A and B are shown apart, each in its own frame.
Chain A
Amino acid sequence: MSNTSHEVAQGPHHTSGAAPTALSAHSIDKKFPGVLANDSVDFDVRAGEVHTLLGENGAGKSTLAAVLCGLYQPDAGYLIRNGKRINLSSPRAGLQHGIAMVHQHFRLVDRFTVSENVILGSRDLPYRLIRREIDEKVAAVAESYGLPIDPEAIVGTLSVGQRQRVEIVKALYQGAEILLLDEPTAVLVPSEVEKLFENVHAMTAAGKSIVFISHKLGEVVEISDRITVLRNGRVTGHVSGRGTTDTKELARLMVGRDIELNSQRATHAMGHEVLQIRDLSLDVDDVAVLTDISFNVRAGEMVGIAGVAGNGQRELADTIAGLISPTSGSITISGAMTTDRGPIAAREVGLAYVPEDRLGVGLVPSMSIIDNLLLTRNRQTVVDRFSVRPEATRLIEQFEIKANGPDHLARKLSGGNAQKVLLARELSGGRTATRLLVVCSPTRGLDVGAIETVRRILNDARSAGQAILLISEDLDEVLSLSDRVLVLYRGAVVHEALGEAAELSQVGAAMAGLSSQSH
């Protein structure tokens, strides 16, 4: 490993033209009941390059990546690794051929140290582990790729970006030559994305191949040597080179129509206060998670909550939704006190909630789309699927959900489509005229077309006089959509600004905890 590290200075591009193909897939078919997720897909990645898979939600990107690393076996087609045909029966087999996938849901033991996590599962270690030796070994591997990492740190205390780095180091430690990164930036804040990209450069410089999946076109253009566009399971285009690529053109290739990439803030009148939060505090296990939060959201207003993940956003949303009782303070929705009265009481007065954890809290994975819709639709004892069916079909169309009908099981949807089902349920069919929409990371994992749709729907809802609380780690999204922005840091509101007047640098500084209480 150390013999390759001196190449870092050369940069990745000089070799990419002549570099040999590291892994190629030929006419891959992968069927799932009702869908052809991959339809004779050809794909290849060379040593030392970043090859991006681009495509709308449900296009088959994750499926292809899963085939490439041995998680799924293709129904037809084959893989060639370094000129030889290979058969991957499991991810373990993939690893033996130097192919590793970094999952979006990290596979790390929180209580273990970094190095314990990295070596877990490695078979070539001696029976007795000497902590110092392992730490040194892991640090050496990490350093040879310019991935600074503290081998003794407990993983549970690390940020999301650092954990991701541990996953990457783990893959490298296990000898990965080809890394598949499925939406690695979806969970990262901008500064962490930058670091990830530095790491990617260091890896490609060392001759590793990266298969990259992302919906963020700006990133894709920045990092990719080549781009392959998938649509409905088929390869629909190849774009080469970096920097030269036009994001608008990419978006069109992806969804087959023109996309407005920058959402507009509509001007509109604001009404009465729908959500009132007073001195809200929450302690969990004697640790203050939320401290003294007070703010209002008015009808026709969108208030954005910015902040780095883990600064109390999820707890704030759950508290407003009635899922958690605050330690002190009050929550009023449409004039009714909902503090301590549970989620149903909050929904009765017009709450709609799109939680962060889609398949965990938002949807029941083992139920169909229609049953998931019904969860909030009627509280009668008898389930009436029949009368909801037309609406379900309409919503599937309106939200462009890729599914074979209302009976499609939620867990068999692609990540982006699951999010759309959740949004469709929450944004439609409320019991009160004025509603409070609490939406967490509504566009995470969505393709550009879907993002456009979702943002339009949110804007329409606001224009129709709904009150919206938008909680998102995507700073651009918060700034471009919200009328007002609050920054949450360590459970307290540390910065407040009007959406239009909000300065990216100031908000960014406040998110990092560098603000001087400016409200």
Chain B
Amino acid sequence: MNDNIWILMSADAIAIATTLILAGLGALFTERAGVLNLGIEGILLASAVSSFLAADASGSIWLGLVFGALIGAILASVHAVLSVVFRANQIVAGLALVIFGTGLANFLGKPAEGKTINTVIEPLSFGSLSDIPVIGPIVFGQDIITYSAILLAIVSSRYLFSTRPGLELRATGDDPATVDAQGLSVARIRIRYTMFGGALVGLGGAWLMLAQSAGWHQAATTNGLGWIALALVVFAGWRPMRIIFGAVLFGFTLQLPFTLQAEQITFIPSAFLEMLPYLATLIALIALSRPGSRNLLGAPRSLGSPFVRDER
């Protein structure tokens, strides 16, 4: 058996996990504020292609990343305005965003098809640490964004559970009327975190594009990672630290079928394995769309429902 392919697989799984952590944290911040944004996949695609175009035009990968995050925030602001200001049905608004984001990405992506970027994000160098067998390339072979994503999850956890704004954010998702009664603006908090969440998703999309894909392949670029990110938040119980572990788990499950195929291990049909993450996602999304099951899962209480101040 070839040990190398397993190490490569692990490295790839962590790479996928990076996008999932960023997009998952984005969805988590949005949902903690009480807004359900199902449009993550659309944002991911649109920001991926825009970051490609920006990096291509400017020659700077970093500019591409920033641009991706910016596009993510802008698209999320559309969702925020629809669901917070106009109190639209958030499920419908989110699905519309998927369609819009995908369409936009395909349109913008036309000229980019077949092109590749010649600069890449280099893995950080830890000197001889990377040469440790097995662990070296997996733990010390990643780029700065991957490490930042993990750090961000840790910081997010601290922010959410032990800072004043974190407390206000959680309260907004659970009980906006109480936050309103304190003289805080529910709308402002919700819009702010929906946009911030969108920026994180956008960064995830941009990184996936620039660091991982050789080029733009339309919807295959993200392969439904946006949907998986939404499910990940459910499985993580809306806790940032668990996002890291969930993302790694999903990352491995997504990579495993290719490796098994390459190794010609066939005792489990690889098509079945390929399906697993999506099946889990489907179940999580169904649960997320129904208020009853949402509560059972421990979702923020007001998730998906617009806030209207009691008239009396």
Q: Give chain A's interface residues, CB within 8 Å of chain B.
A: 90-92, 95, 103, 107-112, 116, 119-121, 125-131, 285, 365, 411-412
Contact = CB atoms under 8 A, between A and B. Distances in A.
Contacts of B179: 120-121
* Chain B CB within 10 Å, residue with most, of A111, A112, A120, A129: A120
B296 interface: yes
B312 A120 contact: no
A341 B165 CA distance: 48
B174 A116 contact: no
A108 B175 CA distance: 8
Given A112-B171, A121-B183, A285-B296, A130 B178 contact: no
Interface in B156-188: 162-165, 167-168, 170-171, 174-175, 177-179, 181-184
Interface residues of B, number: 21
Contacts of B178: 107-109, 120
Contacts of A127: 163-165
The 10 closest A-B pairs by CB, nearest first: A121-B182, A92-B183, A107-B181, A107-B178, A109-B175, A109-B171, A109-B174, A129-B162, A125-B164, A109-B178
A130 B163 CA distance: 8
Contact of B171 (A90, A120, A128): A120
Nearest to A129: B162
Given A108-B178, A110-B175, A129-B162, A91 B167 contact: no
Nearest to B166: A129
A109 B170 CA distance: 9
B167 to A, nearest CB: 6
A130 B171 contact: no
A120 B182 contact: yes
12 contacts: A90-B183, A91-B181, A109-B178, A111-B174, A112-B167, A112-B174, A116-B167, A120-B171, A120-B179, A121-B184, A127-B165, A128-B163
Given A91-B183, A411-B312, A107 B177 contact: yes
Interface string B134-171: 00000000000000000000000000001111011011
B122 interface: no
A17 to B, nearest CB: 36
B3 interface: no
A121 B171 CA distance: 10
Contacts of B184: 121
Interface string B291-312: 0000010000100000000011
A258 B170 CA distance: 52
Given A90-B183, A121-B182, A127-B163, 7 more contacts: A95-B183, A103-B181, A109-B170, A110-B301, A112-B167, A112-B171, A119-B167
B168 A128 contact: no
Counting chain A CB atoms within 10 Å of each CB, the highest count among B167, B184, B296, B301 belongs to: B167
Contacts of A108: 175, 178
A128 B296 CA distance: 30
Nearest to A415: B312
A129 B163 contact: yes
A125 B164 CA distance: 7
Contacts of B165: 127
A126 B184 CA distance: 17
Contact of A120 (B162, B168, B311): B168
A365 B311 CA distance: 10
Contacts of B174: 109-112
Contacts of A116: 167
B42 to A, nearest CB: 31
Contact of A129 (B167, B175, B182, B183): B167
Contacts of A121: 168, 179, 182-184
Given A111-B174, A119-B167, A130 B162 contact: yes
A116 B175 CA distance: 13
A284 B80 CA distance: 35
A130 B158 CA distance: 11
A34 B296 CA distance: 46
A285 B298 CA distance: 14
A107 B163 CA distance: 21
A119 B165 CA distance: 12
A129 B301 CA distance: 23
Contacts of A129: 162-164, 167
Contacts of B296: 285
B237 to A, nearest CB: 12
B140 to A, nearest CB: 32
B253 to A, nearest CB: 30
Contacts of B171: 109, 112, 120
Interface string B244-275: 00000000000000000000000000000000
A127 B165 CA distance: 7
Contacts of B163: 127-129
A90 B184 CA distance: 12
Nearest to B162: A129
Contacts of A125: 164
Nearest to B172: A109
B231 to A, nearest CB: 22
Nearest to A109: B175
Contacts of B167: 112, 116, 119-120, 129
Interface in B177-228: 177-179, 181-184
A92 B184 CA distance: 10
